[in-house]
C-alpha cells in the first residue's frame, strides 16, 4: 500500500453521511474478496451515519461491468454516490491490464459524465494474498471502508460547491 505523507495542518474531511443514499456495485468474480470489501463498505457507511436502508447493493459479473451499472445508478437520480467494488488479480496473460484499466477508465468517464461521485474500490493486485490483505475485517485495512469514506466526503464536498453563493 502506498504511504500518505500528511501535511501538519491537513484539514479534516466532512464525513457526515446522514441523509445520503449510496449504491454499491460489486463484481461477482473473486467474490470471496469482494464480499469482504462490501462488508467494509457497510461498516464505513454506518460509521458516517448512512442508514442501512439507504444503501443499495447490486452484483455484476466482474470488474469490467462495474462502470455501466455505476453509470446507470448515477443517471437514475436515486443515489448521491456509487461505490464500485471488484478484485482483479494478475494472471499469466494481459487480461489483467485490460480489465483493470478499462474498469478504472469507465468509472472515471461515468462520474465525469454524470457529476455523481463514483468511487474506485476495485483491488488490482499481484496475488490473492495482497487482495486478502486489502480486504481485512473490522480493524484491518479494508479498501471498502476507505471507499465508503471517500463517497461520503465527495458528496459533502460537491454539495458545498454546488450551493456556494
Domain chopping of the chain, boundaries: 22-163
- Residue 53 CA to residue 126 CA, distance in Å, equals 35
Q: Which CATH superfamily is domain 22-163 in?
A: Lumazine/riboflavin synthase (3.40.50.960)
Per-residue pLDDT band for 11 (boundaries 50, 70, 90) equals confident
pLDDT in tens, 40-53: 999 999 999 999 99
Tell me the mean pLDDT in the region 90-102: 87
Interaxial angle between packed helices 95-114 and 66-76, expressed in degrees from 0 to 180 and rounded to the nearest 10: 10
Catalytic status, residue 9:
no
Per DSSP, the three-state class of 155 is: helix
pLDDT in tens, 98-108: 899 999 999 99
Tell me the mean pLDDT in the region 42-66: 98
Q: Cβ contacts of residue 137 below 8 Å, gap of 6+? A: 36, 39
User: CB-based burial of residue 144 (10 Å sphere; 0-12 exposed, 13-18 middle, 19+ buried)?
Assistant: buried
Give the sign of the dihedral formed by CA 73, CA 54, CA 152, CA 32.
Answer: negative
Residue 124 backbone class (left: φ over 0; alpha: ψ -120 to 50; beta: rest): beta
- DSSP H/E element including 111: helix 95-114
pTM: 0.94
Of 9, 42, 95, 141, which is the active-site residue? 95
- Residue 52 CA to residue 38 CA, distance in Å, equals 12
Amino acid at each position: 500500500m502506498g504511504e500518505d505523507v500528511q501535511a501538519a495542518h491537513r484539514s479534516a474531511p466532512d464525513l457526515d453521511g446522514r441523509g445520503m443514499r449510496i449504491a454499491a456495485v460489486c463484481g461477482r468474480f473473486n467474490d470471496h474478496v469482494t464480499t469482504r470489501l462490501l462488508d467494509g463498505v457497510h461498516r464505513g457507511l454506518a460509521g458516517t451515519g448512512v442508514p442501512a436502508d439507504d444503501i443499495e447493493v447490486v452484483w455484476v459479473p466482474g470488474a469490467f461491468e462495474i462502470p455501466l451499472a455505476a453509470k446507470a445508478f448515477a443517471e437514475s437520480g436515486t443515489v448521491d454516490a456509487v461505490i464500485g467494488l471488484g478484485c482483479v488479480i494478475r494472471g499469466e496473460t494481459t487480461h489483467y491490464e485490460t480489465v483493470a484499466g478499462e474498469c478504472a477508465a469507465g468509472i472515471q468517464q461515468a462520474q465525469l459524465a454524470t457529476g455523481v461521485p463514483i468511487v474506485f474500490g476495485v483491488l488490482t493486485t499481484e496475488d490473492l494474498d495482497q487482495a486478502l490483505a486489502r480486504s481485512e475485517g473490522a480493524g484491518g485495512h479494508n479498501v471498502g471502508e476507505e471507499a465508503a469514506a471517500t463517497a461520503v466526503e465527495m458528496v459533502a464536498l460537491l454539495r458545498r460547491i454546488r450551493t456556494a453563493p
